Amino acid sequence: MSVEGLDRLEARFNRIPKAVVDANVRAMEKGAEEIVAMMRRIVPVRSGALRKSIGWTWGEAPRGSITIGSVRGRKYGTLRITIYAGTRDKKLGNMDAFYARFVEFGTKHAAAHPFFYPSYRALRKRVKNRILRESRKAIKGLK
C-alpha cells in the first residue's frame, strides 16, 4: 500500500537543501555588502588605504587582515563568508593597510577609532534575520 502524493513530498524534501543554500548565499552576500559599506563610511581616512582594504570574501581573509570571525553550517561548511579590513596581500591590488587593528583598538600612543566591530554589531541582527527569512521563503516556495 502506498500513500498518495508521497513521491511529490519526497521530491520536495530533496530540493530543500539546494533552495536554502541558494537563498542563504544571496542573503549572506547582501549582508556582507551592507556591513562593508558601513565600515567604509565610518573608518577614519588619512591616505584611503585602510578604507580600500575593507571587504568580504567567501572562505579565508587575505593575509594580515583582521576579521569578525566566520560562521559555518555543519552540513554545508562551504558557506563561509569572511569580512575583513587591513591586508598585507599585494596580490589583491589593495594598498598595504596592516595597521587596521591599531586603528580599531588603539595603541598606547593613539586612541582607538573603532569602525570594524561597531558596524558588525549594528547590522548583525538585521543580517541574521534576513538569512532566516530568505531560508523560510525558499522552503515555502518549493512545490
Average pLDDT over residues 105-122: 93
Q: What does pTM read for this prediction?
A: 0.78
Task: Please state the separation of Cα 92 from the chain's center in Å.
Answer: 18
What is the helix, strand, coil percentage profile of the chain, to 5?
Answer: 55, 10, 40
Other beta carbons within 10 angstroms of residue 78's beta carbon come to 11
Q: Which of 73, 75, 26, 36 is nearest to 56 (CA)?
A: 36
As given in the structure block, the three cell numbers for residue 64 are: 594580515
C-alpha to C-alpha distance for 105 and 100, rounded to whole angstroms: 9
| Residue 116 located in a structural domain | yes
Average pLDDT over residues 107-132: 93
pLDDT of amino acid 1: 44
Average pLDDT over residues 109-121: 93
In the numeric block, the cell 512545490 is attached to 143
Encode pLDDT of 12-34 as tens digits.
Answer: 667 677 888 888 889 999 999 99
| Residue 134 located in a structural domain | yes
pLDDT above 70: residue 6 = yes
Average pLDDT over residues 34-57: 91
pLDDT of amino acid 20: 83
Average pLDDT over residues 96-125: 91
Range of the domain at 12: 6-140
pLDDT of amino acid 114: 94
| Residue 34 located in a structural domain | yes
Task: Please state the separation of Cα 87 from the chain's center in Å.
Answer: 17
Contact assessment for residue 62 and residue 70, using Cβ atoms and an 8 Å cutoff: no
| Residue 1 located in a structural domain | no
Encode pLDDT of 62-89 as tens digits.
Answer: 777 878 655 555 454 567 888 888 877 5
DSSP class of residue 92 equals G
* DSSP per-residue letters across 106-138: --SSS-----HHHHHHHHHHHHHHHHHHHHHHH
Domains contained in the chain, number: 1
As given in the structure block, the three cell numbers for residue 48 are: 584611503
pLDDT of amino acid 77: 52
